């Protein structure tokens, strides 16, 4: 991955983009993030993916269906999905 300084810069680059998006209440598309990472850092997709996988293993991010979330935003996402499923179930019971 290069020198320790460049590795740290690349990790911070990815982390800051994820945190900024999640602070605004949106997830990050993994493929788009990787493309931007490769261009901005003159780096390989493999390096970006390794960093994302390490962030996931350390619990700093959650990946689901090609999207990247902070753990807090992912919990909000799960609550919304659960609420939508419950509402759908209630609506179908009312129709019967």
Say yes or no to pLDDT of 11 above 70. yes
> Which residues does 21 contact at the CB level (< 8 Å), separation at least 6?
27, 28
pLDDT band at 85 (very low <50, low <70, confident <90, very high): confident
φ, ψ dihedrals at 63, nearest 5°: -110, 135
Q: What's the pLDDT score for residue 18?
A: 96
Say yes or no to pLDDT of 2 above 80. no
pTM for the model stands at: 0.82
| Residue 28 · residue 77 · CB < 8 Å | no
Say yes or no to pLDDT of 14 above 70. yes
Euclidean distance between CA atoms 62 and 88, whole angstroms: 26
DSSP E strands, 1-96: 28-29, 62-64, 67-69
For each of the domains in the chain, give its residue range(s) and CATH number, in order of start: 4-95 (1.10.10.10)
pLDDT, one tens digit per residue, over 58-82 is 999 999 999 999 999 999 999 998 8
């Amino acid at each position: 991955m290069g020198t320790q300084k460049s590795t740290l810069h690349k990790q911070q680059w990815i982390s800051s983009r994820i945190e900024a998006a999640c602070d605004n209440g949106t997830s990050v598309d993994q493929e788009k993030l990787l493309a931007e990472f490769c261009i901005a850092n003159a780096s390989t997709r493999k390096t970006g993916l390794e960093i994302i996988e390490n962030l996931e293993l350390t619990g700093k991010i959650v990946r689901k269906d090609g999207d990247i979330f902070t753990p807090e935003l992912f919990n909000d996402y799960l609550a919304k999905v659960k609420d939508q499923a419950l509402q759908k179930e209630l609506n179908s019971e009312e129709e019967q």
